[in-house]
C-alpha cells in the first residue's frame, strides 16, 4: 500500500477546515478494499484512516483519488482497478458512471443479494446488539431476489430542464441537480420510457418551455409516468409551474395517439420555488382519474399522487412473507400501522377476522377505502391520523390486536407507537422495514417483551443499495 504524506499547513491557514489525517483532497492513493457500505461504496484504509471509495468492490486493490476528508473518514473516487474482484460485473447502462439512480450495477447480482443480507446482519449486530449465532440467535435468511432484475420500476419521475437551449429530461447526477438527459433507463418499465420520451419530444416540438429552477421560470417541471404492470394501463402526469399549458389540446391529442396504453393524462400544478415534485392542485386533462393494477389477487386504483409500491413483483413476495409471519388463520384481529393505501391491509384481510389500518395522510386513507370497496373487502376499517394516537384510542374502545404490522418510513417507528405496542402486547409483531438501521434500533426497543425470531431481506430495488426486510417478533410470556 502506498505511503502518503500529511499535508503541511501554513501559519495562517484555517486548520479547522482541514483535519489532521494521512490523506489530502486531490491525492491519489492505493487502497485495499475490505468491505462495502450500505451505499455500495468500497471501504478501505490508508494508514488506519477509513476511505469510502465509490465504484470499488470488496477484495479489490484500487487506485483512488481523494475527494473529501473528515476527521474520522474520507471519500474517494476509483481511478483504476489494480486487482479485480471476481464479482465485478460490466454495467449495461451507458450512463451508469454519471447517473445517480443506481449504485450496484458493477456488482454481480447474486453478490448484490449477499451484500444486502450482510447489511441487515451488520445493523442488527452493531445497532440492535443482537446475536446472530448460537442459542437464541436471530435467523437472517438469504435475500429474496428477482429472476430478471431489470425493468422492474412501474413509476418514473423525470425532472425537466434546459441544456444548450434544448429541453432535457432524465435523472439527476449523483448528489447534484444536474440533469442527465436520457430516453431509456434499464430499471424502468419500457412503457414509462416510451411515455416520457414521447412527452419530451412533443414538448420540444410544441415549444413548451422547460422549467428553470434557478430563475424560477418556464413551465414543465416534471413528467411522471405510471404503468399498471398487469393491466398495461399508462398514466402520464405533467407537473407544471403554471396552470395554462400552451397548445394543450394538441399536446393531449398527440400523447393519446403516440403513447400505447395511455388511459389517463393528468396535470399537477406546482407554482412554488421548491424541490418537492407535486403541488396541491391536480386535474385530469383526459381519460380516467386512476389506472389499475393487481398484486396477487388484490386490485388497486392508482391516482396521480397515491403511493404504490414501485416493484409489484417483489411487493407480492414481500407481502406474502408478511402474511406468513402474521400467522393469520381467519380468527385474528390485525392492526396495520402506516397502512398507506391499504396494500398490506388488503392482503392481511384475506386471512384475518378484521384488519384495522391507520395512516397519517388522509388522501391515502381515502385510497385505502376505495381499494377495499374495489375488492369487496368488508372486514377492513381505515382511519386517518397518527398511529400513536389512533391505536391507543382503538384500544380504549375495546379493540384488542392479536397481530400488529408496522411498515414505517425510513426514519422508523415513532417512539410513542413502540410504547403503545409494548403496552398492548399483541401476540405477534411483524415489522416491514426499508431501512436496516432504524429496523435494528426499533427491534432493540421491542425486545423488552418480544423475541425476534427471524428476518427476511427482500430485494425490492435491484442494482441500488436499498434493501427491504420483514421481521417476525413473538411475545415472550415470562
Q: Residue 2: what pLDDT?
A: 41
Residue 190, C-alpha cell as written in the block: 419500457
Q: Residue 478: what pLDDT?
A: 55
The span from the first CA to the last CA of the chain, in angstroms, equals: 55
**Could you tell me how far CA 366 lies from the centroid of its own chain?**
23
Cβ contacts of residue 101 below 8 Å, gap of 6+? 171, 185, 187, 464
Classify residue 109 by its DSSP letter: H
Q: Residue 180: what pLDDT?
A: 93
Catalytic residue check, 434: yes
Domains along the sequence of the chain with CATH:
15-83 (2.40.50.140), 122-146+311-475 (3.40.50.150), 155-295 (2.40.50.1070)
Cβ contacts of residue 33 below 8 Å, gap of 6+? 42, 43, 44, 53, 56, 57, 58, 59, 60, 61, 62
Q: Residue 477: what pLDDT?
A: 80
Residue 239, C-alpha cell as written in the block: 407537473
Residue 451, C-alpha cell as written in the block: 423475541
Instruction: Report helix angle 109-126 to 436-446, nearest 10.
Output: 40
Q: Residue 18: what pLDDT?
A: 67
Closest CA to 31 of 72, 67, 59: 59
Name the active-site residue from 102, 339, 413, 434.
434
Q: Residue 177: what pLDDT?
A: 85
Q: Residue 14: what pLDDT?
A: 42
Q: Residue 74: what pLDDT?
A: 97
Q: Residue 135: what pLDDT?
A: 83
Mapping DSSP to helix (H, G, I), strand (E, B) and coil, where does residue 227 land?
Answer: strand
Closest CA to 241 of 264, 267, 266, 265: 267
Q: What distance in Å separates the CA atoms of residue 306 and residue 369, rounded to the nearest whole number?
A: 13
Mean pLDDT by 10 residues, the chain (478 residues): 42 55 95 93 96 96 96 95 97 90 95 97 97 90 98 97 94 86 96 98 97 94 98 98 97 98 98 95 97 96 91 96 96 96 95 96 93 97 95 93 96 94 96 98 98 97 96 90
Amino acid at each position: 500500500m502506498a505511503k502518503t504524506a500529511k499535508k503541511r499547513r501554513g501559519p495562517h491557514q484555517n486548520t479547522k477546515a482541514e483535519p489532521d489525517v494521512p490523506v489530502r483532497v486531490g491525492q491519489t492513493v492505493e487502497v485495499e478494499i475490505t468491505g462495502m457500505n450500505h451505499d455500495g461504496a468500497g471501504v478501505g484504509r490508508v494508514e488506519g484512516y477509513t476511505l469510502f471509495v465509490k465504484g470499488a468492490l470488496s477484495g479489490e486493490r484500487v487506485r483512488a483519488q481523494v475527494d473529501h476528508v473528515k476527521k474520522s473518514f474520507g471519500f474517494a473516487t476509483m481511478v483504476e482497478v489494480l486487482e479485480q474482484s471476481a464479482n465485478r460485473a460490466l454495467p449495461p447502462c451507458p450512463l451508469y458512471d454519471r447517473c445517480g439512480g443506481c449504485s450496484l450495477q458493477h456488482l454481480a447480482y447474486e453478490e448484490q443479494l449477499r451484500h444486502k443480507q450482510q447489511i441487515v446482519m451488520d445493523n442488527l449486530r452493531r445497532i440492535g446488539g443482537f446475536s446472530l449465532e448460537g442459542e437464541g440467535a436471530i435467523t437472517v435468511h438469504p435475500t429474496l431476489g428477482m429472476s430478471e432484475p431489470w425493468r422492474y420500476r412501474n413509476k418514473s419521475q423525470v425532472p425537466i430542464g434546459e441544456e444548450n437551449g434544448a429541453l432535457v429530461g432524465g435523472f439527476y447526477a449523483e448528489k447534484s441537480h444536474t440533469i442527465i438527459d436520457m430516453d431509456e433507463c434499464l430499471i424502468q418499465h419500457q412503457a414509462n420510457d416510451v411515455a416520457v420520451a414521447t412527452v419530451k419530444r412533443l414538448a420540444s416540438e410544441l415549444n413548451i418551455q422547460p422549467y428553470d429552477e434557478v430563475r424560477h421560470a418556464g413551465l414543465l417541471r416534471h413528467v411522471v409516468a405510471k404503468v399498471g404492470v398487469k393491466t398495461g394501463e399508462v398514466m402520464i402526469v405533467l407537473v407544471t409551474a403554471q396552470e395554462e399549458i400552451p397548445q394543450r389540446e394538441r399536446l393531449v391529442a398527440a400523447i393519446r395517439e403516440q403513447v400505447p396504453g395511455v388511459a389517463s393524462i393528468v396535470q399537477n400544478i406546482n407554482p412554488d420555488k421548491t424541490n418537492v415534485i407535486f403541488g396541491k392542485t391536480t386535474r385530469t386533462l383526459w381519460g380516467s382519474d386512476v389506472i389499475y393494477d393487481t398484486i396477487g389477487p388484490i386490485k388497486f386504483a392508482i391516482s396521480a399522487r397515491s403511493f404504490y409500491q414501485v416493484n409489484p413483483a417483489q411487493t407480492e413476495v414481500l407481502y406474502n412473507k408478511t402474511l406468513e409471519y402474521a400467522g393469520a388463520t381467519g380468527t385474528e384481529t390485525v392492526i396495520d400501522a402506516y397502512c398507506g393505501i391499504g396494500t398490506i391491509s388488503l392482503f392481511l384481510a384475506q386471512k384475518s377476522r378484521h384488519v384495522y389500518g391507520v395512516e397519517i395522510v388522509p388522501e391515502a386513507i381515502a385510497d385505502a377505502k376505495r381499494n377495499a370497496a374495489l375488492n369487496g373487502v368488508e372486514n377492513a376499517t381505515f382511519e386517518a391520523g397518527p398511529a400513536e394516537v389512533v391505536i391507543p384510542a382503538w384500544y380504549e374502545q375495546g379493540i384488542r390486536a392479536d397481530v400488529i404490522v408496522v411498515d414505517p418510513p425510513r426514519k422508523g417507528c415513532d417512539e410513542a407507537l413502540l410504547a403503545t405496542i409494548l403496552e398492548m402486547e399483541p401476540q405477534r409483531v411483524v415489522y416491514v422495514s426499508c431501512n436496516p438501521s432504524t429496523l435494528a434500533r426499533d427491534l432493540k426497543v421491542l425486545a423488552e417483551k418480544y423475541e425476534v425470531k427471524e428476518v427476511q431481506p427482500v430485494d425490492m430495488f435491484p442494482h441500488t443499495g436499498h434493501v427491504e426486510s420483514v421481521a417476525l417478533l413473538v411475545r415472550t410470556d415470562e
